[in-house]
Structure 1
Amino acid sequence: MHIVTLTADEVDDLLYLTRANEADDLHQTLAELSQKYGCETETVLEACIDPATGNSVLHYCSANGLAELLQTLLGHSKTSDLSGKAPDRAQLINRRNAQGNTPLHWAAYNGHLAVVKLLVDAGADMWVKNAAGHLAMFEAERADKSEVVQYLLETGGRAVEQTGREGAASAEDEAEVQADGEGVGNGTAKTKAQAEGGVEVEMEDAGASG
């Protein structure tokens, strides 16, 4: 998979079409750019990053709960290249924006459970921390998204039990999972970052305008 550099207008178009959930136009534009640059669609998605915010197409899908569109976009990265191997989706799925937030952070904070599940199933790393030192499950907890918190706690708990797994939780992450688990439903969950007054990271639904 080779690297391409999109123009500012091309990046703006792709991000706008995603935020506006104009799925047909988005897929058509992706196909046109893929043909223009002679690359796979995933390569275009990798190159589509807002230079000011670091946000990707997946960030906006996640922020706005666009599960159907996200599933389609994730499907592009399952196609094989000339070597017969499917490209690694980890870089795209776990990309951190300027505030260190991954698509999973945004989906969790905004309570989009279906998107959270899609991301985790696709290989999203739930142990990535943002610039404030917060896991996605912590962002869901502070936003009072109980269903997302419960899902991530259960998923994280299973991961903690899998010793030796690449990307497994650290001792600090395990403690955070346990702390969140004790506070689910009563608003008492506190992580080390919260107790130390971690920096608040704003994550809101990303509308089509602006």
Structure 2
Amino acid sequence: MTSEHTAEELFKVRDGSGRGLLHLCLQRGEQYWRTLLELGWDVSAEKGWTPQHEAALLGNLEAMKALLAKGGKVSPQEPFNGGTPLHVASFNGHFEVVKLLVSKGAAVNARDKEGWTPLAQARDQGFPEIVDWLKKNGAVR
């Protein structure tokens, strides 16, 4: 097995919820995820619960900046409930990540499979500063 083949295999490995090696590295710390990105990990090929969703969940602004700079999509919808990273960041109160995603063109009025928008999730979870900011930036529901 060549080292290139090994890298391809590592890219494909997923746990039961669709998380792969880059997701694990995001949970472990900056030196890990930065190493994968420096080695040329193809962020744009990630599907499902993407590393951008994971960074939004963790509120990791620096990781989100790096993922987007490496070609990660701003508003990918994950297959389970159709949420985007903006939904995840809004739901969890990660205001700086919300601002970054919107500044990069995230769909502020995207609905998940249950009809929730990032604005509605922020309101439901009690994050009025995110609600107000999203409204000022085009969110209507």
- Sort the TM-score into its range (normalised by shorter chain): 0.7 to 0.9
Unaligned runs of 5+ in 2: 1-7
1:147 aligns with: 129
2:74 aligns with: 93
1:24 paired to 2:68? no
Instruction: Look up the equivalent residue of 1:31 and give its one-letter code.
Output: E
Work out whether residues 14 and 48 of structure 1, in 8 Å CA contact, stay in contact via their aligned partners in 2: no
Work out whether residues 14 and 57 of structure 1, in 8 Å CA contact, stay in contact via their aligned partners in 2: yes
1:125 paired to 2:132? no
Three-state SS of the structure 1 residue aligned to 2:24 is helix
Question: Identity of aligned pairs, percent?
Answer: 25
For 2:45 and 2:27, locate their aligned partners in 1 and report how far apart those are by CA, in whole Å: 17
TM-score (norm 2): 0.81
For 1:62 and 1:71, locate their aligned partners in 2 and report how far apart those are by CA, in whole Å: 11
1:75 aligns with: 69
Three-state SS of the structure 1 residue aligned to 2:116 is coil
For 1:48 and 1:117, locate their aligned partners in 2 and report how far apart those are by CA, in whole Å: 23
For 2:34 and 2:97, locate their aligned partners in 1 and report how far apart those are by CA, in whole Å: 19
2:3 aligns with: none
Instruction: State the 4+ residue runs in structure 1 displaced beyond 6 angstroms.
Output: none
TM-score (norm 1): 0.56
1:171 aligns with: none
Unaligned runs of 5+ in 1: 35-40, 78-88, 158-173, 177-210
**What's the C-alpha RMSD, in Å, of the aligned pairs?**
2.0
Larger Rg: 1
Deviations, residues 164-189 of structure 1 (Å, cap 9, x unaligned): xxxxxxxxxx4x3xxxxxxxxxxxxx
